Chains A and B, each alone.
Chain A
Amino acid sequence: MTSAVEFLNVSRHFGAVAAVDGVDLTIAEGSFFAMLGPSGSGKTTCLRLISGFEKPSGGEIRIFGAEVGRVPPHLRNVNTVFQDYALFPHMSVLDNVAYGLMVKGVGRRERLRRAEEMLALVKLEGYGARKPAQLSGGQRQRVALARALVNEPRVLLLDEPLGALDLKLREAMQDELKALQQRLGITFVFVTHDQHEALSMADTVAVFNQGKIAQVGRPTDVYARPRTRFVADFVGSSNVLEPAMTKALGGPEAWASLRPEAVRLVPWNKSDLRGSVTALRYLGSAMRVTVILPFGTLSVLVPAGMPMPQMGDSVGLILASNGLHVMEEA
């Protein structure tokens, strides 16, 4: 399989700050690729390096094998769904969607026909005559998607595409985006700071930290086997265990991660591992329980429906057999 996008030791400096710092990256054709990280981690700069709005300070960027470092944005066969959609306020929805075809010189009848098709694809038939200001946030999001897809890009870039939507709509759009990507077979690259979004939609996740990629892999790998403390903490709020604590819990003397759901609470006399409850946080489907042990604290997830401990209770803990994951790097 060819790679859609390749970064070879790419850097982007803003003055003294390295927003992107020696990144190597391969995005397989047809994949749904997530760039996950906190704000300022370099993920958006990476996206803008692909779209061409940023020029690399060093390294090489290839799109389908061709070096694009100096190719301006309007000559690249990639399209972007912008964070705030950036729809043209003075144009109708249909003209917005047809814009990419218009600037390429496609005839009026043909481009409007194809724009209508795109609107149908994103389930907005009949909205063509409206102005962007007359649409809801979710509808604008769909228009932005249709407008980017009309050019039949080989890579579609999405910059925090669901950030402005409320939770319910966001979940619905996640499913729709995933279905759309599978149907079209286009490579999707999307930037997000929401680990749930990245894990549920992508088939490959790259976790960014301080301009570098901390880990790349399938969502299940990144979640269950974080490579660094940062990944363990950022992707799913794992317990990060110091070497001494790992040893006390029966592992080797090394940094390790322990998922909160890999620990089970039992009555205090049913386990040799005991502690007391110091904090409770209700999450709806589960309770996050903080337990203090003689050698440190652990976060434990108790699913709803299980017996719930109270503040100050003494509890016993049982670790799942494969719960401890020793990390490569501290």
Chain B
Amino acid sequence: MRFDRPSFGLKLAAIGGLAFLHLPILLIFLYAFTTEERTYAFPPPGLTTQWFAVAWNRADIWPPLYLSLRVAAISTALAMVLGTLVAGAMAQARFFGREQISLLIILPIALPGVITGMSLRSAFAIMEIPFSTWTIVLGHATFCIVIVYNNAVARLRRLSGAITEASADLGANAFQTFRHVLLPNLGSALLAGGMLAFALSFDEVIVTTFTAGQQSTLPIWMLNELVRPRQRPVTNVVAMVVFVVTFVPILLAYYLTRGGADTAGGGK
């Protein structure tokens, strides 16, 4: 089906929609430079870069930042190992209940974070596991695995099944086939999945609230900071950091999976 050129009204509506979605992000950046520290008055009375220095010197920012980076790194690493293995099994094996298990793997990302958080919290309580960095990691890993799994399983399906047979035919054992044939073809998909997982974990709030105990990650620190009256622009400076840390990996992941098409189909 073909469409004529969009009407002026439609264009305006589209631009309006995009502006509604993205202008507030620009406002966050703008208020990082405001001279007024108690309210977000518009327009800002003046511009300054002093809040970057203030943020840098505030000791209470660094522990949440380190914690967020550590949690994101560990849960991503965990997800990349487990997600790849599950994808390998699901892409090749045919067994009873395969579709159901596939659904169970994807479920954590479809479930509301509140549910995941509550169930994990009660599970930790029943097993008498004290809250720590590791409970946060476990919470984040549930949805990070899904991201990696989805990326890997899509790539594995595109790879022709014959190349793993060809590898075995030429004398490679299962490990050699994985190492020399599957992994190189999975590489960009895994990297993309890992970056998305990292970004998702880095700014996660809901599951973290239920599994963190007394520690706070960077997003939770920001949430607490917003209700305080002083040095508000510091939060905006931190928001910019969060934006960069999460947006850049997502952008990279997008380009990686897009470029992967010609490597995966090359054997045909």
Contact = CB atoms under 8 A, between A and B. Distances in A.
Interface in A65-111: 72-75, 79-80, 82-91, 99-100, 102-104
Contact of B267 (A73, A74, A87, A102): A87
B264 A51 contact: no
B166 A151 contact: no
Interface in A94-152: 99-100, 102-104, 131-133, 147-148, 151
A99 B267 contact: no
B266 A102 contact: no
Contacts of B130: none
Contact of A132 (B171, B176, B267): B267
A168 B168 CA distance: 32
B266 A80 contact: no
Interface in B162-194: 162-163, 165-173, 176, 180-181, 184-185
A151 B169 CA distance: 10
B49 interface: no
Given A53-B165, A90-B185, A99 B170 contact: yes
B60 interface: no
A73 B180 contact: no
B48 interface: no
A82 B160 CA distance: 12
A86 to B, nearest CB: 4
B165 A133 contact: no
Q: Contact residue range for chain B?
A: 20 to 34
B262 interface: yes
B93 to A, nearest CB: 15
Contacts of B168: 53, 72-74
Nearest to B187: A90
A103 B170 contact: yes
Given A100-B171, A102-B180, A103-B171, A84 B165 contact: no
Given A73-B165, A84-B162, A151 B185 contact: no
Nearest to B173: A74
B266 A89 contact: yes
B166 A88 contact: yes
B266 A86 contact: no
A86 B180 contact: no
Given A82-B162, A84-B268, A103-B176, A90 B171 contact: no
A176 to B, nearest CB: 21
Nearest to B164: A86
Contacts of A102: 180
A89 B185 contact: yes
A146 to B, nearest CB: 12
B263 interface: yes
B264 A82 contact: no
Given A89-B267, A131-B266, A132-B266, A82 B166 contact: yes
Contacts of A51: 169
Interface string B237-268: 00000000000000000000000001111111
A82 B162 CA distance: 8
B165 A74 contact: no
Contacts of B162: 82-84, 86
Interface in B191-249: none
Given A100-B170, A104-B171, A88 B163 contact: yes
Contacts of A82: 162, 165-166, 169
Contact of A90 (B160, B170, B184): B184
A133 B166 contact: no
A83 B161 CA distance: 12
B184 A79 contact: no
Contacts of A104: 171
A101 to B, nearest CB: 9
Contacts of A131: 266
A90 B166 contact: no
Nearest to B166: A86
Contacts of A53: 165, 168-169
A89 B169 contact: no
Contacts of A79: 169-170
Contacts of B169: 51, 53, 73-74, 79-80, 82, 148
Given A73-B165, A84-B160, A88-B267, 11 more contacts: A51-B169, A72-B168, A74-B173, A79-B170, A80-B165, A84-B268, A86-B267, A89-B163, A99-B172, A103-B170, A103-B173
Q: Which 4 A-B pairs have the closest CB atoms?
A: A89-B266, A86-B162, A100-B170, A86-B166
Interface of B: 160, 162-163, 165-173, 176, 180-181, 184-185, 262-268
Interface of A: 51, 53, 72-75, 79-80, 82-91, 99-100, 102-104, 131-133, 147-148, 151
